Amino acid sequence: MRQPRELFLHELKDIYYVEKTLTTTLPRLAAETKDTELAAGLKAHQRQTEGHVKNLEKVFQKLGEPARAEPCPGFDGIKREHDKFLEERPTQDVLDVFLTGAASRTEHYEIAAYTGLVTMAKALGEPEVAELLDRNLKQEKEALRTVEKIGRRLSKATAKNGRPARSPRRRTTARKRTARATSRS
């Protein structure tokens, strides 16, 4: 790889792979969660992702290149992490929190990719391409804000519900303090 355009096309094929893969992955994730807000958010983002794919196909067309996806090891790692986590048989509450984290990691990955692509498109003198990519970038940022909000809510609820009971030692210590204070009076 010697030319900036070659790098740009390589990165474009990576994000095209990610978006195409997400069109089939997001419905499965929505089915895994029992949280209605998270499921609705994943389904809504799946529809956006279909639009991202179309925008990317327009980008390839404007560049006079065939729309081709290349496997993306970074994204595949996020998918493998999800699959491995499911093998641990988490409770539903824990799974829902995990799904918000996985979605957040994916959005961060996509945001980084689109940010670089927009910058390169501008540098290569491709303003129409940069505009299409920027549309996707803005939606990815909004999706991240949404999933982070849901993640905070689910994390708080799960932590509150999963908090262990006080240890007997603490209660004994509190009783001893109360007994000492009472005996001094």
Please report the DSSP string for 37-75 in residue order: HHHHHHHHHHHHHHHHHHHHHHHHHHTT--------HHH
Q: Which residues contact 71 (CB under 8 A, 6 or more apart)?
A: 17
Q: What is the pLDDT of residue 97?
A: 95
The pair of structure tokens assigned to 12 is 């474009």
CATH number at residue 112: 1.20.1260.10
Name the band, by pLDDT with cuts 50, 70 and 90, for residue 1: confident
Q: Per-residue pLDDT tens for 121-180?
A: 999 999 999 999 999 999 999 999 999 999 999 999 888 876 543 434 444 444 444 444
Q: Give me the domain span that covers residue 8.
A: 4-184
Q: Which residues contact 12 (CB under 8 A, 6 or more apart)?
A: 56, 59, 60, 117
Distance CA 129, CA 121 (A): 6
Length of the chain: 185
Q: What is the pLDDT of residue 52?
A: 98
Q: What is the pLDDT of residue 164?
A: 45
The percent of residues in the chain predicted with pLDDT above 90, rounded, is 83
| Mean pLDDT along residues 112-124 | 98
What is the helix (H) or strand (E) element at residue 101, kind and residue range? helix 92-123
Q: What is the pLDDT of residue 160?
A: 83
- Judge whether residue 104 has pLDDT over 70: yes
Q: Which residues contact 39 (CB under 8 A, 6 or more apart)?
A: 30, 31, 33
Q: What is the pLDDT of residue 95?
A: 95
Q: Per-residue pLDDT tens for 34-85?
A: 999 999 999 999 999 999 999 999 999 999 999 999 999 999 999 999 999 9
Cβ density class 59-78: b for 16+ within 10 Å, e for less? bbeebeeebebeebeebeeb
Q: What is the pLDDT of residue 163?
A: 56
| Cα maximum dimension of the chain | 89
Q: How many domains, the chain? A: 1
Q: Which residue has the tokens 């994390």?
A: 155
